[in-house]
Structure 1
Amino acid sequence: MGSGFLGKDGLKYQVFPMTPADLDRVVCIERLSFTHPWTMTQFLEELNRQPLARCLVSARGKGACGYVMAWLVVDELHITNLAVDPSVRGRGVARGLITTLIRNTRSEGAVWSALEVRESNLAARALYKGLGFTVLGSRKGYYPDGEDALVMGMEM
């Protein structure tokens, strides 16, 4: 079952559970977004991590324009991946995906959410802060290129 949100551009974006049919587009967005992108195999493994995986795509028209991947472990939501197609960045797609994910998992009993974000990713850090996440610490050399990750979390 899908839900949706109104983007900053005034357009309606739909949010649906990710399926294998979405993966070609998701992998394309991943490659456009990251220097060390996840592979098709990694996305398939995440989708198959039931009952832990919570994977959503956002779309307006044909195909995904963004996605979020997470695990729900007991009462903690751990966001593992989030990306938006560069052509629609700044329109509220990431915020809509995370807000939908939090709303859905809160109804499943989640009370806490956590994630890692590149220290240099100021746009993502601002997004997470605006959603209520705070910096809890860091993971030195977390990313393949040696960059540190900030660990952020929030009560839901």
Structure 2
Amino acid sequence: MTKEDIDYVYDVDKRSFVTPWPKDIYYEEMTRNQYARYFVATVDQQVVGFCGTWMVIDEAQITNIAIDPAYRGRQLGTGLFQYVMNEAIANGVKRLSLEVRVSNVVAQRMYKKFGLVPGGIRKNYYVDNHEDALVLWVNL
């Protein structure tokens, strides 16, 4: 992801989530957070998805991941997640984690295909509706 992608990423974020991140957060992540790494998925040079991570020493946390609703069901999320996992491994990451809504069974199924397993629940994690988050982990 480049700074030029931020507007497109923000558009995907708005179409994907009830409470998208403010656009300036992406800029801050890319310019001020030395641990942040962001990746985009493109179709015909159009940004249709993104994934953010924080890679610190040998651990990675997925901060957010989304595929534009118009492009879902085409395995783009799977490809993007595989790419991010490969990048994490190439950067010495030994353990990867993320949070996912307990109601998002489609995403949970995908993550479990990559070996992620439940590690706990974060109660009332999501601010829009206080839904719990399922914490998933994998040793790489």
Matches within 5 A, 1:17-32: 18-32=1-15
- CA apart distance, 1:62: 3.0
- CA change 1:54–1:133 in 2 (3 A) is same
Question: Is 1:152 equivalent to 2:136 in the alignment?
Answer: yes
Higher fraction of helix = 2
Tell me which amino acid in the other structure corresponds to 1:148: D
Deviation at 1:134, TM superposition (A): 0.5
The aligned length equals 139
Question: What is the CA–CA distance in structure 1 between the aligned matches of 2:94 and 2:132, rounded to whole Å?
Answer: 26
Q: Which amino acid aligns with 1:116?
A: E
Look up the match of 2:22: 39
Structure 2 distance, partners of 1:45, 1:112, is 25
Deviations 1:48-85 (A, max 9, x none): 24420110001121320110000001100100100001
Name structure 1 gaps, 5 residues minimum.
1-17
Unpaired stretches in structure 2, ≥5 consecutive residues: none
Q: Are 2:102 and 1:139 equivalent residues in the alignment? A: no
TM-score by length of 1: 0.86
Within 2, Cα distance between the matches of 1:103 and 1:85? 22
Residue 116 of structure 1: which of 99, 106, 113 is its match?
A: 99
Distance 1:125 1:26, change over 3 A: same
Instruction: Identify if the C-alpha distance between structure 1 residues 153 and 49 changes in structure 2 by more than 3 Å, giving closer, same or farther.
Output: farther
Most deviating of 44-53 and 136-145: 44-53
Q: Which runs of 4+ in 1 moved over 2 A?
A: 48-51
Per-residue CA distance 1:17-66 (angstroms, 9 max, x = gap): x0111111111110110001111011112212442011000112132011
In structure 2, the partner of 1:55 is 38
- Name the residue aligned to 1:76: 59
Aligned counterpart, 2:69? 86
Aligned 8 A contact 1:22 1:63 in 2 = no
Q: Does structure 2 retain, via aligned residues, the 8 Å contact 1:140–1:149?
A: yes
Give identity over the alignment, percent: 37
Q: TM-score, normalised by structure 2?
A: 0.95
In the alignment, the residues of structure 1 paired with residue 98 and residue 27 of structure 2 have an alpha-carbon distance, to the nearest angstrom, of 20
* Cα RMSD for the two superposed structures: 1.0
